[in-house]
């Protein structure tokens, strides 16, 4: 059984822990570099990316996380977590930094005011058995990707799920639906060590 951490600085940590456990991983919270060093994979939850960015710096996690991701640690980010995995944010708040790992540019709060939160069926490449119900909450979209990035899903003509090597990210929150197939996809990637 792989041990998978959830970055527990801010955001919907508990929901990811529950989804990972349902997907047959040993799920643990990660707040310190020593805890990061002990996991086989890491989830970066949804929440507020500016807050996660600041708290990661405060907890001395920014550099260890960047290094771990560069070193091949499997990571999965949902919503704010997707933003944290972007090499570049189109409209960063001042001081907002990401961990990076995916060669993409993201736009925060991209889906606009009328649609700040909504649900939509999303076909995710690699997820069997039909579309997943995507919960989008002030969600980012992926504005553009580099050549090494695989687009896994789009919604309304915008990229909402991607993978590059060891890093997986979705604009939406599968941890809020009780459908654990996206977490299963990630756990499977952790098992094969990619
Ligand atoms: N809008 C948030 C941000 O920019 C993300 C929202 C979410 O994670 N549900 O970080």
pLDDT in tens, 37-68: 999 999 999 999 999 999 999 999 999 999 99
Mean pLDDT of the chain: 96
The preferred substitution site among 109, 113, 117 for testing ligand 1, maximizing ligand atoms within 8 Å of CB, is 109
pLDDT in tens, 117-156: 999 999 999 999 999 999 999 999 999 999 999 999 999 9
pLDDT in tens, 88-126: 999 888 878 999 999 999 999 999 877 789 999 999 999
47: annotated binding-site residue?
yes
pLDDT of res. 115: 75
Radius of gyration of the chain (CA): 15
The upper half-sphere exposure of residue 86, i.e. CA atoms within 13 Å in the direction of its Cβ, equals 30
Task: Name the DSSP class of 84.
Answer: H
Question: What are the start-end ranges of the H helices in 38-193?
Answer: 49-58, 62-70, 80-84, 181-191
The upper half-sphere exposure of residue 64, i.e. CA atoms within 13 Å in the direction of its Cβ, equals 18
List phi, psi (to 5°) of 183.
-65, -35
Ligand 1 neighbour 109 (Cβ under 6 A) = yes
Does this model's pTM top 0.95? My answer is yes
Ligand 1 atom closest to Cα of residue 11: 8
pLDDT-derived band at 194, boundaries 50, 70, 90? low
Q: What are the residue boundaries of the structural domains of the chain, listed by start?
A: 3-191
Provide the 3-class DSSP secondary structure of residue 186. Answer: helix
Ligand 1 neighbour 77 (Cβ under 6 A) = no
CATH 3.40.50.880 fits 3-191, yes or no: yes
Annotated catalytic residue 173: yes
- Closest residue (by CA) to atom 5 of ligand 1? 80
pLDDT of res. 17: 98
Note the Cα 164 to chain centre separation in Å. 12
Measure 139 CA to ligand 1 centroid, in angstroms. 6
b/e per residue 153-185 (b: at least 16 CB within 10 A): bebeebbbbbbbbbbbbbbbbbbbbebbbbbbb
Contact 44, 80 (CB under 8 A): yes
Annotated catalytic residue 79: yes
Q: What percent of the chain has pLDDT over 90?
A: 93
Instruction: Inform me whether the pLDDT recorded for 157 exceeds 90.
Output: yes
> Is the ipTM above a cut-off of 0.90?
yes
């Amino acid at each position: 059984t792989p041990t998978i951490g959830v970055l527990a600085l801010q955001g919907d940590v508990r929901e990811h822990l529950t989804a990972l456990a349902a997907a047959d991983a040993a799920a643990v919270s990660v707040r310190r570099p020593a805890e990061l060093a002990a996991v086989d994979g890491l989830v970066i939850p949804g929440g507020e990316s500016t807050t996660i960015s600041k708290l990661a710096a405060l907890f001395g996690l920014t550099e260890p996380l960047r290094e771990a991701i560069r070193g091949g640690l499997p990571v999965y980010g949902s919503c704010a977590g997707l933003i944290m995995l972007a090499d570049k944010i189109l409209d960063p708040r001042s001081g907002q930094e990401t961990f990076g790992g995916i060669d993409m540019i993201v736009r925060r709060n991209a889906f606009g005011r009328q649609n700040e939160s909504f649900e939509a069926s999303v076909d995710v490449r690699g997820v069997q058995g039909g579309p997943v119900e995507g919960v989008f909450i002030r969600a980012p979209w992926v504005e553009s990707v580099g050549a090494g990035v695989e687009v896994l899903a789009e919604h309304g003509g915008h990229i909402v799920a991607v993978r590059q090597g060891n890093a997986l990210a979705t604009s939406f929150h599968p941890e809020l639906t009780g459908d654990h197939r996206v977490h299963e996809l990630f756990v499977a990637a952790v098992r094969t060590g990619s």
